Structure 1
């Protein structure tokens, strides 16, 4: 599956704060190619309903296959579905409930003017998520379900095994920041710091990288907007924000998400 490189470049140059910097003719070109979108108005309840509908059409194997298949070829949009899938599997179906501005259950606003182009830029540019925004999740799952079912290659499996090996061998006080730098040295794994950060955060959502006190989403839902931070200045998402090398890997969670692959069985021996 090849990208439209011209449309992708226009998308990745899009500015959330200065959308007018994108020329109208460029926007229309990328929109026609399926990379950029008009903004939409959506309510909290509509976003949840849409996200749940998309979730029901999505399978674990399809999502994990695409996540793995993205590792060797930089198809970051293939990687973006897993964090949303993991979180939505535990997401409580509910109507908006609040005495203030945001929903007390999920932390989202009652309605939103959703910049779908910016959300798509995150999909293609980072390969993960930047918040627990249900408006983003609804769109990400919709786009995820339009992707082809791509199987991981030997190179993908090898890269993933290197990632897990680096995490398992982390020093006691290694932080996620130190681990992502080590991962960046894996041969054949083209990535930047932001993309590696998103990947480790995804492993956190999967409960593979968590702590005794700060758990991932395998068995529970956490409102990311209210989740505690390890320090005020941290820009890592929960729970990997709290993780250190001494916490190791939740082997049960690793096996739950990746244990069905014969090519990865040596990870569990």
Structure 2
């Protein structure tokens, strides 16, 4: 079962989504700016896979699709994609790692029992979230869609600069005071100008590290080995909106080196 039937491909498998289509998508998702779009612009964005019809997919189909994807996509592939996105700011690859880890855990432990497949998959909205730097928000819909795309794209390799960026982000986490929250860490990374990014991108980036169990707590772990049901993730603090488990992280928890090396290898820190 193909989820990626909407995409156009060139001969080597790369997606044909250009900056023009992305800009049209941003205007399309703005209620006021959408009215200024021409029929031709909308048709262009649809052809390039930026504006898409919603997709109905059953839980059984999602399980089947993810099982096939994991036969060809590895954790190492996903980690390299994430690292590659740090210096390039290529949002097509930024949330592949979070999607991989979350979806693998969902497939092993949950399969829709507590986190059901959204009906329908709002693919245009998912594209918009991706290019705005919004993360996966701890639900299975976006990982299904993002991984299905990634399975058909050219794999990317990280450069030395990407690994240095991650090293600096980890160093930033290690430097936080014991009482510091995930939100404070987000502000610190942004203030240090470690990489080109906006506020939303910093949040999505650190949420990815938390999903991987690198920024976790002993009681509230990432998704490498466990799956925490949605109703068990909230801190009850209405003042913050970070995704689990970054919402529970404090400076005292520092960094889980074992998970850092498990995901990225031994040459990061």
Q: With the length of structure 2 as denominator, give the TM-score of the two structures.
A: 0.84
Q: Equivalent residue for 2:210?
A: 204
Gaps of 5+ in 2: 1-13
**Alignment counterpart, residue 171 of structure 1, candidates 177, 187, 191:** 177
CA pair 92-155 structure 1, distance change in 2 beyond 3 A: closer
Task: Give the stretch that moved more between structures: 135-144 or 40-49.
Answer: 40-49
**Alignment counterpart, residue 242 of structure 2, candidates 213, 236, 241:** 236
**Alignment counterpart, residue 12 of structure 1, candidates 12, 26, 38:** 26
The answer on whether the counterparts of 1:47 and 1:135 sit within 8 Å (CA) in structure 2 is no
**Alignment counterpart, residue 112 of structure 1, candidates 112, 116, 119:** 119
Q: Equivalent residue for 2:149?
A: 143
The answer on whether the counterparts of 1:77 and 1:127 sit within 8 Å (CA) in structure 2 is no
Q: Deviations over 1:13-70 (max 9, x none)?
A: 3328889656543222112122221222222322232233223321111111110011
Aligned residues: 254
Instruction: Report the 3-state secondary structure (helix = DSSP H, G, I; strand = E; otherwise coil) of the residue aligned with 1:241.
Output: coil
The answer on whether the counterparts of 2:63 and 2:107 sit within 8 Å (CA) in structure 1 is no
- How far off its partner does 1:219 sit? 1.1
Q: Equivalent residue for 2:72?
A: 57
**Alignment counterpart, residue 90 of structure 1, candidates 95, 105, 114:** 105
> What RMSD over aligned residues (CA atoms) do the two structures have, in Å?
2.6
Q: Equivalent residue for 2:11?
A: none
**Alignment counterpart, residue 246 of structure 1, candidates 244, 252, 255:** 252
The answer on whether the counterparts of 1:184 and 1:196 sit within 8 Å (CA) in structure 2 is yes
CA distance in 2, matches of 1:188, 1:251: 20
Q: With the length of structure 1 as denominator, give the TM-score of the two structures.
A: 0.84
Instruction: Report the 3-state secondary structure (helix = DSSP H, G, I; strand = E; otherwise coil) of the residue aligned with 1:112.
Output: coil
